Amino acid sequence: MDPATLHDISEGIERLLTEVRAVAGPVAWPRVEQLLSSVVQLYGAGLARVLESVDDTVRARLSEDELIASLLVLHGLHPLGPEARIQRALEQMVPQAKLTGLDEGVARLSVANAGPGLTEALSRLVQEVAPEVSRVEVLAEPLLQIDLVRSRARKSV
C-alpha cells in the first residue's frame, strides 16, 4: 500500500473513533476502548513473535520501513531507542539539525537559523519517529555574522 493510502486509512480510523465516542455514551465507550486495547495488544504480541523468529539483519531492515517502524514503536519493539531514531531521522531529513539532549520526554534540538516553519517541521518529525517524546525544544543558532566595516578597516591598514 502506498503512503497516501495508509495516511487516509489512519485518518479514517481517527474519524471513526471520534464518531463512535460521540454516540457510544459513558457506559459503552470504556468497553470500546478495552476492545481496541485488546486488539492492539494481540497484534503487538504477534509482531513480537515475528521479530523473535528473524535475525538482526531482518529486524534492522524491517525497522527502516516507515509503517513497520511506527508499529514497532507503538508496541515498544523497535530495536533503536528514541535518541537513535531521532538522530537517524535528522541525518536523513534535516542534516543541519542536531539532537543536543533527550531528557524526561523532552527532545532538545539545535539548528542554524530555524524559522517557525522549520521549527514546526522538526517537532513533527521528532514526534513521528519518537512518539514517546512529549515536547520538542528547538534552539535556533544564529548564522555566523561578519562585521564588514571592521573587515574593510583591517584590509586598509
Where do the domains of the chain lie?
1-79, 80-142
- Length reported for the chain: 157
H-helix or E-strand containing 141?
strand 135-141
Structural contact between residues 82 and 132, judged by C-beta atoms closer than 8 angstroms = yes
- For 80-142, the fitting CATH number among 3.30.300.130, 3.40.50.2300, 3.30.572.10, 1.10.10.10 is 3.30.300.130
Structural contact between residues 102 and 118, judged by C-beta atoms closer than 8 angstroms = no
Least confident interval from 78-82, 131-135, 150-154: 150-154
Structural contact between residues 72 and 62, judged by C-beta atoms closer than 8 angstroms = yes
User: Crossing angle of helices 66-74/116-129, nearest 10°?
Assistant: 70
Q: What share of the chain is helix, strand, coil (3-state, %, to 5)?
A: 65, 15, 20
pTM exceeds 0.75: no
**pLDDT on residue 156:** 61
Q: Average model confidence (pLDDT) for the chain?
A: 88
* Listed residue (6, 122, 130, 36) closest to 80, CA to CA: 130
